[in-house]
């Protein structure tokens, strides 16, 4: 699967644009791969020009977890109620003040964001994907929303309580911040 990391930089190089991936890949760690390059307007900024982002949080909900994928997913051995999680995730859709779902280190002036699509996807091998598409995300917002949805799946929070948590704008009512293992930026959209 390809993931949507995008970066930009300015250069005075005479190297043809189609040669940039090969040239860059030969000089960076093998854990990072450049798949394509294109010329963009000088005013383009890979982060600030973005209109939508889709994040995925991957949960391994099997009894024992996986040693192979331990750095790419979060293991939660307690059986999660997927149907309740699917009901709860819909409360995040729309424009809201997500103050209850941001870390204390967030520097953003406004915590109002729009979530266009929020869903729980059951995958094979007892994997659960939490996918959120929005116009922007606060620091740790996806991991906190995911932690809150896990609490719903564990029966600690009822789905309809999500709206109250959002409206409270109080971080202490939301779930814990899940580990970074399992968080992926899947897609970035500019139009």
DSSP letters spanning 159-183: TTHHHHHHHHT-GGGS-----STTE
Domain that holds residue 33: 1-47
**How many CA atoms are closer than 13 Å to the CA of 2, on its beta-carbon side?**
9
23 and 84 fall within a common domain = no
- Rounded CA-CA distance 38/21 in Å is 10
Task: Return per-residue pLDDT of the chain as tens, 191 residues.
Answer: 457 789 999 999 999 999 999 999 999 998 888 999 999 999 999 988 999 999 999 999 999 999 999 999 999 999 999 999 999 999 999 999 999 999 987 778 899 999 999 999 999 999 999 999 999 999 999 999 999 999 999 999 999 999 999 999 999 999 999 999 999 999 999 98
Phi and psi at 127, nearest 5°, equal: -100, 145
135 and 62 fall within a common domain = yes
80 and 12 fall within a common domain = no
Name the nearest CA neighbour of 135 among 150, 156, 113, 157. Answer: 113
88 and 165 fall within a common domain = yes
98 and 141 fall within a common domain = yes
């Amino acid at each position: 699967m390809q993931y949507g990391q995008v970066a930009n930089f300015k250069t005075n190089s005479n190297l043809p644009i189609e040669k940039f991936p090969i040239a860059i890949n030969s000089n960076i760690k093998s854990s990072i791969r450049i798949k394509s390059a294109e010329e963009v307007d000088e005013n383009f900024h890979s982060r600030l020009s973005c209109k939508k982002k889709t994040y995925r949080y991957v949960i391994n909900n099997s009894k024992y977890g996986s040693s192979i994928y331990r750095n790419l997913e979060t293991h939660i051995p307690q059986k999660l109620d997927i149907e309740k999680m699917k009901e709860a995730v819909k409360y995040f859709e729309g424009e809201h003040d997500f103050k209850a779902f941001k870390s204390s280190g967030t520097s953003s002036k406004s915590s109002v964001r729009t979530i266009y699509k929020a869903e729980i996807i059951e995958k094979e091998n007892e994997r659960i994907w939490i996918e959120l598409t929005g116009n922007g995300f606060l620091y740790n917002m996806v991991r906190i929303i995911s932690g809150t949805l896990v609490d719903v799946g564990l029966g600690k929070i009822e789905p309809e309580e999500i709206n109250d948590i959002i409206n409270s704008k109080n971080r202490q009512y939301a779930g814990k911040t899940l580990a970074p293992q399992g968080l992926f930026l899947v897609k970035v959209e500019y139009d």
